[in-house]
Amino acid sequence: MLIIPAVDIKNGKCVQLVQGIPGTEQIVIENPEIVAEEWENKGAEILHVINLDGAFGRSSKNLEVVKKILNTVSIPVQLGGGIRTLKDAANLLDIGIEKVILGTMAVENPEKVEELSNEYGSNRTIVALDSKDEKVVVKGWTEKTEKSAPELGVALQKRGAGGILFTNVDVEGLMKGFNINPLLKLLKAVDIPVIYSGGVTSLSDIEELSLTKTYGVVIGSALYKGKINFEDALKYQ
């Protein structure tokens, strides 16, 4: 199971938000590319970068920071946040992003997943299924759909998605651990790799995930606040 550090970017800085809500920044670090390099030096095999400004509607913001990260690290980078069109996704893949994470666009226009997968390969196409009260939410977690993650996961797998980023919004950023049941339902429903995110606070959480079919786990606040030592987490990789 891959241990994947999160580098969330807002206003050109590395931040950690609570529940993805603007204005709740708890960690603010200058020069995200240096943060990314530190994770690589500690043994990360892939980075999870989110353009938070993009998720809130400003897709082109932080593009220069993303390019700096790509120029600084040699490991693959998966990126999400504000990818609203196929052109957005293609531009990111063309500048060296290994995998794009499609959220709202994938849920509202699943045919776009198929188009991107056909052109660039399913292995470079991840769909984000963000779940709140067991229903998928979109548009920066502000709108709830009527579909569950397993339902959408099966549909998007058929459309060519090569992986799923599953975030349990109910526990994300709260540092209180997580409920594994929604994840287990998704893992049972789909055959493609699932990366988990949300509420991972301790090594025991990581161990619990490692005993499932989870392909990888994204960790943010727990790393930045020192709740989890990254090198210790790598024991489960």
From the list 53, 88, 130, 232, the catalytic residue is: 130
Using CA atoms, how far residue 177 sits from 74, 109, 157, 183, 236, in Å, is: 31, 33, 28, 14, 17
To the query of whether residue 133 is one of the catalytic residues in this protein, the response is: no
Q: What is the DSSP string of 122-163?
A: GGGEEEEEEEETTEEEETTTTEE-S--HHHHHHHHHHTT--E
The C-alpha atoms of residue 65 and residue 78 are separated, in whole angstroms, by 14
- DSSP 8-state symbol, 123: G
- Residues 184 and 129: their CA atoms lie apart, in Å, by 14
Three-state DSSP at 103 gives: coil
Report d(CA 126, CA 92) in Å as an integer: 13
Report whether 46 contacts 193 (CB < 8 A). Answer: no
Residue 130: active-site member: yes
Residue 99 · residue 127 · CB < 8 Å:
no
Closest CA to 66 of 43, 98, 106, 42: 98
Query: 157 phi and psi, to 5 degrees?
Result: -60, -40
Catalytic residues: 8, 130
